[in-house]
Amino acid sequence: MKRIKMPENLPRPVVLLSHRAPVAFRRSADGKRTARRGAGGLVTALTDLSTQLEDVRWVCAAGGGEDVAVAAEHPGEPVPVALTAQPRVVSRDSTEDSVVPLRFVDVPEDQHERFYGVISNPLLWFIQHGLYGANSPDLGDAEHHAFSEGYVPVNEAFADAVAEEVEAAGGSALVMLHDYHFYLVAERVRKRCPDALISQFIHIPWPGPDSWRLLPPSMRERLLHGLLGNDVVAFHTEGSARRFLLSAQELLGLRVDLDTLTVEVDGRTVRARYYPISIDVASLRELASSKAVVDRIEDLSQNLAHGECQLILRVDRTDPSKNIVRGFAAFGLMLEDHPELAGKVRFLALLQPSRLDVPEYAAYLSAIAAQVARINARYDHLDYEPIDLRLIQDLPLAVAAYSACDVLMVNAVVDGMNLVAKEAVVVNRRDAVLVLSENTGAHQELGDYAVTVYPYDIRQQADALYEALTRPREQRRANLRDAAGVIERNDIAAWFSAQLADLAR
């Protein structure tokens, strides 16, 4: 039985688009085809939702040769895949609940590199997270070329794939696009499929118009016009929705209404909306009670979070927006302020190496390692290693650490939402204190129950860590309970249903 009821007046099918695929096909050493679920917060959330929809198809990027081979075995139609814990291709007339037809889009490698490794990350990601300083970016021939010969044609290829899916369904569909990789898709889909209802969810922050002036008009106007091909452009926060409209007003001279959050373009009304994304609380708690997680909790309790010793945790991709280096600097400063804590508190950092083929990300990983080495070296003589840095991708370990930590540090420079904060508060068992950057989307919902940090202020973050470690037990317990209550009330299903209900209006 499918759990999500689509409002009657919404067009069908739902055509989803995301860059990452919900499944990755590969060949193992013995020549066998393997399939495993795609990683990452967005794909995990969409995977569970997509299997709950009656009539859905999902367009995504082929991640390698084996994805392309699987697609080639299904000429002219999407690949029916059962998106279970062990995903597998099924027959097209399968009636299993978890089956979602997947359309893999394969673009030439050099084009994809320009689209992904030059324009989407870092250029758009850095602009939208305010990560450029006074002397960057440099937009030379390589970047212009990457835009016109990478971002534009890749967006066209994905738009055509989406449009073909809509046309195959008779020309009417609910198209749900995801993220900053695809700002040019909606406009092209609308031209081919004027009857489609098109929405796009942007998972990262939208900055004000001045930030977009880092790009020349030829790029920024094209991106904005592309996005305005949507009927709805959605964000995690009201601030992002408003800044999107202000960008349309200042950079394109369009008429916007900040009360109704709308903009007029070419005789149409485009709505900016906000829906804070959330998590699947039940399935996370189920994972938290699995053997894999329980074993890891035991291990952490024996080695890190036992007796008098408190555990500070962070779980992040090694992304400059996550502010990992300053977070460690703040921890080092706190230890200097409070030498009595040496040996009594440890900082576990579970970091997933991210986008290492992008030079800025490789440099950031080196900066993290250097900072950790500096701080740990200071305490060598005490046989105490304050920071336990693990470059690892291990979700059960992350969930075990959520459960066993005393403080969760989320000091992002800026973050669209930050699911780590939401996940930790629903599974923690030690009355943990959330140390949360005011610039995360999550702060709108959880700020009242957290110790707020200001991401560039290392001194303030050091004091905040100390405050979190020394908070009275009753206050910690009440804050954690209230924070978990917020997430239980607004879970991932509520996030999605709110969008459908609005679209139906």
Q: Which residues bind ligand GDG (CB under 6 A)?
A: 39, 41-42, 203-204, 277, 315, 317, 352, 393-395, 398, 415-420, 423
Q: Which is nearer to ligand GDG, 71 or 241 (CB)?
A: 241
Nearest alpha-carbon partner for 348 in 309, 375, 386, 395: 386
Smallest separation, CB 451 to ligand GDG (Å): 18
For the CB of residue 410, give the shortest distance to ligand GDG in the complex, in Å. Answer: 8
Q: How far is the CB of 41 from ligand GDG (least distance, A)?
A: 3
Cα separation, 247 vs 212, whole angstroms: 8
Name the residue nearer to ligand GDG (CB basis): 19 or 225: 19
Alpha helices in 141-216 (DSSP H): 141-146, 152-168, 185-192, 209-212
Q: What does the DSSP assignment read for 370-431?
A: HHHHHHHHHTGGGT---EEEEE---HHHHHHHHHH-SEEEE--SSBS--HHHHHHHHH-SS-
| Angle ∠(23,28,32) on CA atoms, nearest 5 | 90
For residue 410, list its beta bridge partners. 436
CB of 420 to ligand GDG, least distance (A): 4
How far apart are the C-alpha atoms of 439 and 205, rounded to whole Å? 9
Please say whether the beta carbons of 120 and 77 come within 8 A. Answer: no
What tokens were used for 107?
A: 């673009």
Which value, to the nearest 10 degrees, does the dihedral of the CA atoms of residues 89, 64, 124, 118 take? -170
Helices (H), 8-140: 41-50, 65-72, 109-113, 125-128
Q: In whole angstroms, how close is the CB of 44 to ligand GDG at the nearest point?
A: 6
| C-alpha to C-alpha distance for 358 and 114, rounded to whole angstroms | 11
Q: Which is nearer to ligand GDG, 107 or 412 (CB)?
A: 412
Nearer residue to ligand GDG within complex by CB, 173 or 350: 350
> What's the closest the beta carbon of residue 415 comes to ligand GDG, in angstroms?
4
Consecutive H or E run containing 80 = strand 79-82
- Minimum separation from the CB atom of position 417 to ligand GDG (A): 3
Phi, psi of 82 (to 5 degrees): -80, 115
State the nearest-atom distance from the C-beta of 24 to ligand GDG, in Å: 12
